[in-house]
Amino acid sequence: MSSLEIKPGQTIRIYQEIDRREGNWSNAVEGTVLEVGAEKTGSWHAHGRDDRLWLNRIRLKKADGELTTITIDQHTRCEILDED
């Protein structure tokens, strides 16, 4: 993920790319940030907090009202479109 300061109220675009044998799959999602933070998964990880694997996530509200949660990693790019 980029070093941008993502915070609730901002409208952002998130770019993700998944490397596949059949060719890369790219996607962009746009929305207003509701929450940013790490959340634990159901996966066990011996060295993680609470013995769980934690992933960074951004919760967005899209223009049509749909709520979505995007898991971000070091390859995710974020662009701030405007601030509330």
What SS3 class is residue 23?
coil
Q: Which stretches does DSSP call E strand in the chain?
A: 11-18, 25-44, 52-61, 67-72, 77-82
What SS3 class is residue 49?
helix
Q: What is the pLDDT of residues 68-80, one digit of tens each?
A: 999 998 889 999 9
At 24 the pLDDT is 87
At 31 the pLDDT is 97
Provide the CB-side half-sphere exposure for 52 (13 A, CA).
Answer: 8
At 1 the pLDDT is 46
Mean pLDDT of 9-20: 92
Q: What is the pLDDT of residues 27-68, one digit of tens each?
A: 999 999 999 998 877 666 656 556 667 789 999 999 999 999
At 58 the pLDDT is 96
